[in-house]
């Protein structure tokens, strides 16, 4: 055969192979969404959708009155997640700026691997720390009788989201062209002014993406919040209240629920709502990223 034809054939085979790899992710996503939709849908034959989304009480095994309202869980999930971001974003961006601009390279070589190890700690271990370490500390700090509350969950999730926020923020700070800071310094700005007014704004899209990814990590985390937040069903009135997140609720109840009952379907419906929430977060992150990139060009 003509060697040229052979080479072209190989080229297109390789192209097809990588295209197939790319498509796998899309198929997986569509498959998961399809199964969630298919399994969640029967729940709404018996539960009115507005009751499901806007009622506070969830008690599918109640001997008095069976109720399927997930508002408390949605609010709890958001409370714990935003609490975590409030702690993790300033610290994470601060560490990233320190690593990229201030730290001596030797210090950086030590801190970077430690941050990466932090990402590898299993969530069940973090949750255990929440029970034995943070719970008594938070209790004595805030004068409550116990520390199994939303704040405990937020602190733990902040720890878990930090590695993501730090590494991606640092990468985007490093990606800012050296000419920017050189120009700023040449105009007489201090290093602090350069970092704050030039480098961080230039890297903002990456930093926002880092925060969004950290949020995605926090919103979907299950084991840690299951262990540390107390799982009370009441509508949360503050960070010192025991709360039950959507993920914890699914994890608690899916193991025992009889198959193909309203309770079973409703747990998939909770999963569907969670999926839509994380999807919205990621979509928002993408839109923001694109806007900033357009402006830069």
Partner 1 sequence: MRIGKALGVGLVVALVAVAAVTSVTAAQRSKMIQIKGSDTMVNMVQILAEEFMAKNPNIPIAVLGGGSGTGVVGLINKTCDIANHSREIKQSEYEQMAKGGITPREFIIAVDGLSVIVNTKNPVKTLTMADVGAIYRGDIKNWKDVGGPDKAISLYGRQSNSGTYVFMQEFVLGNKNYSPEMKEMNGTAQIIEGILKDEAGIGYAGVGYLFDASGKVRSDLKIVDINKEKGAPAFSPLDKKAVDSGDYPIARPLYQSTAGKPSPDVAKFLQFVTGPEGQKIVEKEGFFTIGPAHQAQNDKNLK
Give the per-residue contact string, 69-108, with partner 1 (x = CB under 8 A; - = no): ----------------------------------------
Q: H helices of the chain, where?
A: 3-40, 43-46, 49-54, 71-97, 105-119, 123-129, 135-142, 150-174, 178-186, 191-193, 200-202, 204-220, 223-228, 246-254, 262-296
Supply φ then ψ for residue 59, to 5 degrees: -155, 75
Residue 231 sits in the site that holds partner 1 (CB under 8 A):
yes
Instruction: Give the total of residues touching partner 1 (CB under 8 A).
Output: 33
In the complex, minimum distance from the CB of residue 61 to partner 1, in angstroms, rounded to a whole number: 5
DSSP per residue over 1-13, as a string?
--HHHHHHHHHHH
Give the per-residue contact string, 248-277, with partner 1 (x = CB under 8 A; - = no): ----xx-xxxxx------------------
Under a CB-based contact definition with an 8 Å cutoff, are residues 36 and 268 in contact? yes
d(CA 158, CA 150): 12
Residue 168 or 243: the one with the smaller Cβ distance to partner 1 is 243
d(CA 89, CA 165): 7
In the complex, minimum distance from the CB of residue 206 to partner 1, in angstroms, rounded to a whole number: 38
Residue 167 sits in the site that holds partner 1 (CB under 8 A):
no
Residue 126 or 226: the one with the smaller Cβ distance to partner 1 is 226
**Positions in the binding site for partner 1 (CB under 8 A):** 57, 59-65, 131-132, 135-136, 139, 145-146, 148, 226-227, 230-235, 242, 244, 252-253, 255-259
């Amino acid at each position: 055969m003509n060697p040229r034809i052979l080479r072209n054939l190989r080229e297109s085979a390789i192209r097809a192979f990588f295209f197939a790899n790319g498509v796998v992710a899309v198929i997986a996503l569509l498959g998961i969404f399809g199964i969630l939709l298919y399994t969640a849908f029967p729940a709404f034959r018996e539960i009115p959708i507005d009751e499901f989304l806007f009622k506070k009480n969830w008690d599918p095994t109640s001997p008095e009155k069976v109720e399927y309202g997930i508002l408390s869980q949605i609010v709890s999930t958001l409370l714990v997640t935003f609490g975590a971001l409030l702690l993790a974003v300033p610290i994470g961006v601060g560490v990233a700026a320190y690593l990229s601009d201030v730290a001596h390279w030797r210090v950086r070589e030590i801190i970077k691997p430690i941050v990466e190890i932090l990402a590898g700690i299993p969530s069940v271990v973090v949750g255990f720390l929440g029970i034995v370490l943070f719970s008594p500390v938070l209790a004595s700090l805030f004068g409550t009788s116990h520390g199994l509350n939303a704040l405990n969950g937020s602190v733990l999730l902040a720890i878990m989201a930090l590695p993501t926020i730090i590494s991606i923020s640092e990468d985007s700070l490093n990606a800012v062209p050296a000419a920017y800071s050189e120009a700023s310094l040449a105009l007489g700005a201090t290093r602090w002014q350069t970092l704050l007014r030039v480098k961080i704004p230039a890297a903002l899209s990456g930093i926002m993406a880092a925060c969004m990814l950290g949020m995605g990590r926090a919103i979907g985390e299950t084991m840690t919040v299951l262990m540390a937040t107390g799982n009370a069903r009441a509508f949360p009135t503050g960070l010192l209240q025991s709360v039950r997140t959507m993920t914890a609720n699914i994890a608690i109840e899916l193991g025992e629920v009889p198959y193909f009952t309203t309770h079973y379907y409703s747990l998939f419906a909770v999963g569907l709502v969670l999926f839509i929430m994380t999807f919205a977060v990621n979509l928002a992150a993408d839109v923001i990223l694109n806007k900033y990139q357009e402006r830069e060009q």
